[in-house]
Amino acid sequence: MGNSGSSSGLQSAKARRKRADIIAAACDVFLAEGFGASMDAVADRAGASKVTVYNHFKSKEALILAIIDDQLDVALAPAVELVDSHLSDSSDVRGDLVSACRAWVAGVASPRMLALRNLVAGEMRQLPELGTAWQQRGPQRFHPVVARALRALCDRGVLSIADIDIAVLQLSGLAVSPNIVYGAYGNSVPDAVAEQLITVGVDMFLTYYTAASDSGASGGPVRG
């Protein structure tokens, strides 16, 4: 029985690796050729048979959804880790918020993610579930993480925010969205500009939402 369990575990690990290989290969193919690319091309890129691809993904749409899930998970993981591990009990709110926004921008505004985002947007009329998946694995996954941290900072008296959900959208709009918009059409955002968009955006956010009695704890400007 021990050998059987070990063999099953090895097969499971092998299947997970093959699934990951197919997702990575499919992402490369679709970014290069669009979602109209054939599953044969995906199989060739993955070094697998088309039967193997379909054993893991029952349709091209299922594979595309898996790509969205995988790529957004990888893109947002560093920002999620930074917010979860540092922001709620931070003694340097400005510094930790800037670091989180840098990771946020690095994830979602990278050339690869912008290309995938544009590809998804172009297919949403025919496949609206792609837009739903993007929202669920992107904003609807990460925004609550930020909201929890901001709520904890409010509970500590560091920030004063009446509507947490609106504040998260405002933070995204100030520090993240400009980088996405600037880079959405193939432009490369200069590093200095990206950094300024983040730091000034965070400062504007803190200027408005820092609790008036807590300027020292926030490390940022005080709301007047």
pLDDT at 125: 87
Give the whole-angstrom CA distance, residue 34 versus residue 2. Answer: 46
pLDDT at 7: 56
Q: What single DSSP character describes residue 128?
A: H
**How far, in Å, CA of 133 to CA of 140, rounded?**
10
CATH no. of 1-58:
1.10.10.60
Measured distance CA(136)–CA(115) in Å, rounded: 19
What integer pLDDT is reported at residue 212 of this predicted model? Answer: 82
Name the fold adopted by 69-218. Answer: Tetracycline Repressor; domain 2 (1.10.357)
What is the model's pLDDT at position 161?
A: 97
- The pair phi, psi for residue 190, each rounded to 5°, is -60, 145
Q: Give domain limits for the chain.
A: 1-58, 69-218
Measured CA distances, 42 to 26, 116, 119 (Å): 5, 16, 17
How many angstroms separate the CA atoms of 200 and 221, rounded?
Answer: 11
d(CA 187, CA 98): 23
Name the H helices within 34-126.
39-46, 50-56, 60-82, 93-108, 111-123
**64-99 residues labelled b (16+ CB within 10 A) or e (exposed):** bbbbbbbbbeebbebbbebbeebbbebeebbebbbb
Here the tokens at position 48 are 């697998």
Reading the chain (224 residues) residue by residue, the pLDDT tens digits are 456 555 556 568 888 999 999 999 999 999 999 999 999 999 999 999 999 999 999 999 999 999 999 999 999 999 999 999 999 999 999 999 999 999 999 999 999 999 999 999 999 888 899 999 999 999 999 999 999 999 999 999 999 999 999 999 999 999 999 988 887 776 777 889 999 999 999 999 999 999 886 554 444 443 43
pLDDT at residue 135 in the model: 94
